[in-house]
């Protein structure tokens, strides 16, 4: 067993050495930190950064490395979370304390033309759009005055549909991602369960919902769904483990060897997943796992931590790396195989 484990890590190290030049690091010009949050199929990346005036602004980095920075008009802090193939961006912005007659955090969609539209479900105090697909459908969740969480889907025309997985008077539904077919996924809590329990779900375009749990999990937390309807995320029991739920409902548990915790954050159209793991020294590393189960560690050279946050349908990966001073920077990984597929 020891020799097999050693062989696996030698393979991982060899793969890493061959792909070091595939990791590109970046910072928004004149920013004090850079935090990517989403990536489109074409490789465009969105996130936020701190400018020289101390304001949190949004950025769009295209596949050629060119930056566009932006803010919601007259608002000091904005957090873009996702971008689609057409360049439409969703996220949320903070409302200044002296203007809080509306939600404290308001959702938005930014069109490719640069125009903004707010997303404010009735009775919401905090609104969090999490995903947008190629058709312009937006998913997310909001918190109401009673501090209950509701999922929502907004159509390309702006029609907003609110839904809760359970009808027990204590809703806790969060929609995390949506694919090109209109299938969405997320998690929900139930008043009848112990505190901290979360269940995964798959919602079809017709509104039908299939709830699911990873066996023996306390929390099942989907993070991504690909075009085929495969769902990836992580679950917790004694520790944290990654999982992939296939279209037929079969669930595969994934752990990086010798890691104390494994999180999966994305899945592409070719059965590859990407995420993070924690080693015995409490250091965070990114990783990608191919469809054959081979795992490759992603470490930015000189980083204290390397944290994958998103994966595109073509397998490009983006995330945040932390330097020895604790400052945040962006990175993107593009594999040769992905370049050929494009």
Give pLDDT tens digits for 235-283.
Answer: 999 999 999 999 999 999 999 999 999 999 999 999 999 999 999 999 9
How confident is the model at residue 168, as a pLDDT? 66
Across the chain, mean pLDDT equals: 89
- Please state, in angstroms and rounded to a whole number, the distance separating the CA atoms of residues 308 and 186: 19
- Please state, in angstroms and rounded to a whole number, the distance separating the CA atoms of residues 285 and 270: 22
Read off the tokens for 262: 């494994």
Strand bridging mode 199-203 / 184-188: antiparallel
Is 6 exposed, middle or buried (CB count within 10 Å of its CB: 0-12, 13-18, 19+)? exposed
Burial 46-74 (b: 16+ CB within 10 A, else e): bbbbbbeeeebbbbbbeeeeebebbbbee
Read off the tokens for 318: 């983006």
- Please state, in angstroms and rounded to a whole number, the distance separating the CA atoms of residues 132 and 129: 8
How confident is the model at residue 101, as a pLDDT? 63
14 in helix, strand or coil? helix
Confidence (pTM): 0.90
Per-residue pLDDT for 216 more than 60? yes
CATH number at residue 280: 2.130.10.10
DSSP letter, residue 172: B
How confident is the model at residue 105, as a pLDDT? 93
Average pLDDT for residues 187-211, to the nearest whole number?
90
The residue segments making up the domain with residue 327 are: 2-341
Whether 240 contacts 255, CB under 8 Å: no
What's the maximum distance between 2 C-alpha atoms anywhere in the chain? 64
The domain tally of the chain equals: 1
Strand bridging mode 33-39 / 23-26: unpaired
Instruction: Check residues 339 and 118 and name the one with the higher pLDDT.
Output: 118
CB atoms within 10 A of CB 81: 23
Q: What is the pLDDT of residues 10-35, one digit of tens each?
A: 333 333 433 444 899 999 999 999 99
How confident is the model at residue 102, as a pLDDT? 63
Whole-number Cα distances in Å, 289 to 137, 255, 273, 317: 29, 10, 5, 12
């Amino acid at each position: 067993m020891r020799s097999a484990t050693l062989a696996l890590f030698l393979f991982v190290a060899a793969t890493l050495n061959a792909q070091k030049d595939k990791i590109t690091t970046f910072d928004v010009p004149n920013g004090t930190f850079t935090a990517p949050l989403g990536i489109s199929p074409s490789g465009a990346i969105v996130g936020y950064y701190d400018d020289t005036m101390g304001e949190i602004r949004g950025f769009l980095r295209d596949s050629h490395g060119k930056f566009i920075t932006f803010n919601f008009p007259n608002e000091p802090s904005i957090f873009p979370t996702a971008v689609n193939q057409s360049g439409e961006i969703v996220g949320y912005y903070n409302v200044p304390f002296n203007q809080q007659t509306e939600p404290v955090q308001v959702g938005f969609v930014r069109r490719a033309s640069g125009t903004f539209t707010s997303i404010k479900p009735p009775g919401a105090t905090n609104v969090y759009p999490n995903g947008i697909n190629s058709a312009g459908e937006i998913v997310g969740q909001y918190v109401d005055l009673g501090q209950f969480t509701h999922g929502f889907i907004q159509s390309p025309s702006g029609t907003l549909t609110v839904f809760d997985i359970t009808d027990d008077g204590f809703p806790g539904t969060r929609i995390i991602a949506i694919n090109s077919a209109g299938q969405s996924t997320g998690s929900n809590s139930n008043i009848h369960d112990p505190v901290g329990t979360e269940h995964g779900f798959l919602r079809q375009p017709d509104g039908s919902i299939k709830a699911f749990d990873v066996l023996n999990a306390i929390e099942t937390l989907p993070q991504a769904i690909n075009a085929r309807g495969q769902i990836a995320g992580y679950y917790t029991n004694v520790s944290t483990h990654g999982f992939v739920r296939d279209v037929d409902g079969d669930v595969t548990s994934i752990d990086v060897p010798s890691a104390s915790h494994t999180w999966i954050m994305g899945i592409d159209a070719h059965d590859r997943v990407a995420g993070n793991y924690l080693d015995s020294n409490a250091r965070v590393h990114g990783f990608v796992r191919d469809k054959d189960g081979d795992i490759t560690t992603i470490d930015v050279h000189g980083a204290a931590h390397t944290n994958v946050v998103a994966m595109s349908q073509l397998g490009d990966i983006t995330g945040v790396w932390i330097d020895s001073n604790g400052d945040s920077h962006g990175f993107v990984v593009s594999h040769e195989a992905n370049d050929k597929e494009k």
